[in-house]
Amino acid sequence: MTDAALPRRQPFALRFPSVMIFLTILALFTVGVTVLSEGFGIGVISTSFIKTLGKTLCLCLVALAMDLVWGYCGILSLGHMAFFGLGGYAIGMWLMYARTEIIVLESLSAAALPPTPQEVSDGIATQIFGVVGSSEFPPIWAFAHSLPLQLAAVVLVPGLLALIFGWLAFRSRVTGVYLSILTQAMTLALSLHLFQNDSGLRGNNGLSGLQNLPGMGDTPQSIVSLWFFWASALALALGYLLCAWIVSGKFGSVIRAIRDDEARVRFLGYPVEAFKLVIFTLTAVIAGIAGALYYPQAGIVNPAEIAPIASIYLAVWVAIGGRGRLYGAVIGAAFVSLVSTWFTGGQAPDINLGFYTISWVDWWTVLLGLSFVCVTLFAPKGIGGLVDILIDRKSPNRHGADLGPDHGALREQEAEK
């Protein structure tokens, strides 16, 4: 469908009703949670559950990014949770630095002489790095004292890493599963690096105490959690709008075309690598922002969160939700992570088989893995496919052989469904 053929463009909202529906639901949800919260409402929902909801919104945002890069552009990246973690580390450095600075200044103010800048810095470094046996700031903490610089790092660090990695990978035409494995290797390298004590980011311990905002010690967590909840909801809304806008225009058509037949798009004269690079970098930035909102709510970020398995779960969410449609990614992330919390939190009732009791804390992952296999085999559209059934939408009836020579492109059988 070309827009030029239409005499007058319909408003964006009417062309894509799902965007308006989604934003309305999100707004209603936010208001509803606020009303039911402890901080500003009647206190039906506990603060810890608000945090869970806020974290879930962040996961929805990163799932959105994953959907954009995988569902729309066909790049199965297994590195987006690494970008997510990097965003968390970037904001965590400032949170930790600023909070420790307040504590150190307080303890030094009792001394007879006013502290010198060196003494303050030494005190903070000892507090933060004592756990890895160091008392000096590594060079990467040079900007940790400044919130604006660290906020810039939230965007720049994942963005630059994605840019460099993507440039290297795309220019040598690494595609399909090779690219997936390569991104997985990058993620593994990054997490192994962060696991070292001399990486400068407290190794295995990660950054902790991030739930306490510096200078806001008096504000109760019930309020702070709502602030973060609102911020996450706003970020998700903006991210959704941005993604919807990107995929709706010509740009969106090109990246979908790249997914379906990369070679053909290249022959049509489009710089495929540049398009891929833009999408890859942009989604990495979105993932970084999501992480920066997620980890202050989680309170701790450590290298285990960056391990390849996290990115694999991200792919699982998007696949279960339904890739190639934005609301599918959100549904998948929200559904799977909330159900996961429910099962692993020990709330799900155990099933007694007589000879063996299935404890869901142990068996949930097995169920998730197998249901993921089933979704891949039997319902490639995921939960989002239910919407198609609901509004009776049918896929176009495309005939012919492969829709594209690239591994991972849609195949005839798939398109017929």
Partner 1 sequence: MLRFVATFLACLTLAFPATAQQADAPIQQLLQSQRDIIVESSRRTIGPAIDALANSGLPEAQVVMDKWQTRQMWVNTETGLFVYAEEVDRDTLRIFDFADGTEIGEVPDDGFDQLKPNSGIRGLIGTALVQFQLSDPDPDTRRRALDAIERGAEESHLAALRASLENETDTQILARKQRLERLLTIAYGETDAERIEAIQSFDGDLGVDVRAALNPLLSVRVEAANVLPTDPDIGQMLDPGSEQLSRDDAYALLVSADLAKPRISVEDQRNALIENIADGQVAGIQVATLNSQDARDMAYAALAEQGVVTAVATEAEVDQRLANHVFYERYVGAPPEVVFAAQAALNAIENKVAINQMFDLSLDALSLASIYFLAAIGLAITFGVMGVINMAHGEFIMMGAYTGYVVQLFIPDYTLSILVAIPLAFAITFGAGVAMERLVIRWLYHRPLETLLATFGISIALQQIAKNIFGTQARPLTAPGWLDGSLVINDIVSISYIRIAIFVLALLFLALFLFVMNRTRLGLEVRAVTQNPRMAASMGINPDKINMLTFGFGSGIAGIAGVAIGLYAKVTSEMGSDYIVQSFMTVVVGGVGNIWGTLLGATMVGFLQKGIEWFNPSNTLAAQTYMILFIILFIQFRPKGIIALKGRAAEA
Binding residues vs partner 1 (CB under 8 A)? 76, 112-119, 165, 168-169, 171-174, 176-178, 180-182, 184-186, 188-190, 192-193, 195-196, 198, 308-309, 312, 315-316, 319, 362-363, 365-366, 368-373, 376-377, 380, 402, 407-408, 411, 414
Compute the residue count for the chain. 417
Q: CB 176 → partner 1: shortest distance, Å?
A: 6
- Contacts for 88 with CB less than 8 Å, ≥ 6 apart: 207, 210, 291, 292, 294, 295, 298, 301, 305
Nearer to partner 1, 240 or 360 (CB): 360
Nearer to partner 1, 108 or 223 (CB): 108
Q: CB 380 → partner 1: shortest distance, Å?
A: 7
Give 81: exposed, middle or buried? Use CB within 10 Å, 0-12, 13-18, 19+.
buried
Which residue in the block uniquely carries the two structure tokens 């699982």? Answer: 316
Nearer to partner 1, 170 or 229 (CB): 170
DSSP state of 111: S
Q: CB 251 → partner 1: shortest distance, Å?
A: 23
Nearer to partner 1, 29 or 363 (CB): 363
Q: CB 189 → partner 1: shortest distance, Å?
A: 4
CA distance 326 to 44: 31
Nearer to partner 1, 119 or 388 (CB): 119
Q: CB 363 → partner 1: shortest distance, Å?
A: 7
Nearer to partner 1, 213 or 309 (CB): 309
CA distance 80 to 302: 16
Q: CB 373 → partner 1: shortest distance, Å?
A: 4
Burial annotation 278-298 (CB, 10 A radius, 16+ → b, else e): bbbbbbbbbbbbbbbbbbbbb
CA distance 276 to 176: 13
